[in-house]
Amino acid sequence: MKNAKPLLVVGAVVILVGWLFVTLTGGGSQQQSTSTASPTATVVAVEGASGLPTVALASLPPEAVETHALILDGGPFPYSQDGQVFGNREQLLPDEEYGWYREYTIETPGSDDRGARRFVVGEDEVFFYTDDHYDSFREVVE
């Protein structure tokens, strides 16, 4: 039984990698998307300081890169909601005091409204990206 422990560890790693694959790829769902949004950004299966998965800024849609620069420059922003407090009601971001997070719209070409893409930015200037209107977040890394 000396070799049982390493086998358990290997088995656990294989299960975790399989779970991550299914989670990040949508479980092989055959549903067709009717969205006009650009393809989703590449997710890096690495946790950021927040504990959330990370995504490289360079892999995000060009509109996200433009919005990122606009936020760092302080605006002006195209929507009146940009820069407003994000309440974190979904509790998917790290727990902080109300007012810690601000949200910003990322343009979605072809969308008739603001679309589903947003940056949520903490007071510590950590950026979080969502392309599904707050159902999930990824910490942006440069």
Catalytic residue among 66, 96, 123, 133: 133
Give me the catalytic one of 90, 103, 125, 139: 103
pLDDT at 106: 97
pLDDT at position 20: 41
Four-CA torsion 113, 128, 89, 77, nearest 10 degrees: -40
Give the DSSP per-residue string, 12-40: HHHHHHHHHHHHHHGGG--PPP---SPPP
- Those residues with Cβ within 8 angstroms of residue 93's Cβ, 6 or more apart along the chain or in another chain: 50, 52, 101, 120, 122, 128, 137
Whether 25 shows a pLDDT value over 90: the answer reads no
Instruction: Summarize pLDDT for 75-126 with one digit per residue, the tens.
Output: 999 999 999 999 999 999 999 999 999 999 999 998 889 999 999 999 999 9
Q: What is the mean pLDDT of the chain?
A: 79
Confidence of residue 47 (pLDDT cuts 50, 70, 90): confident
Residue 45: pLDDT band with limits 50, 70, 90: low
Q: Cα–Cα distance between 102 and 59 in angstroms, integer? A: 22
Confidence check: pLDDT of 9 > 50: no
Mean pLDDT of 4-8: 42
Residue 13 above 80 pLDDT? no
Q: Decide if 133 is catalytic.
A: yes
pLDDT, average across residues 126-136: 96
The predicted pLDDT at position 132 comes to 95
The answer on pLDDT for 14 being more than 70 is no
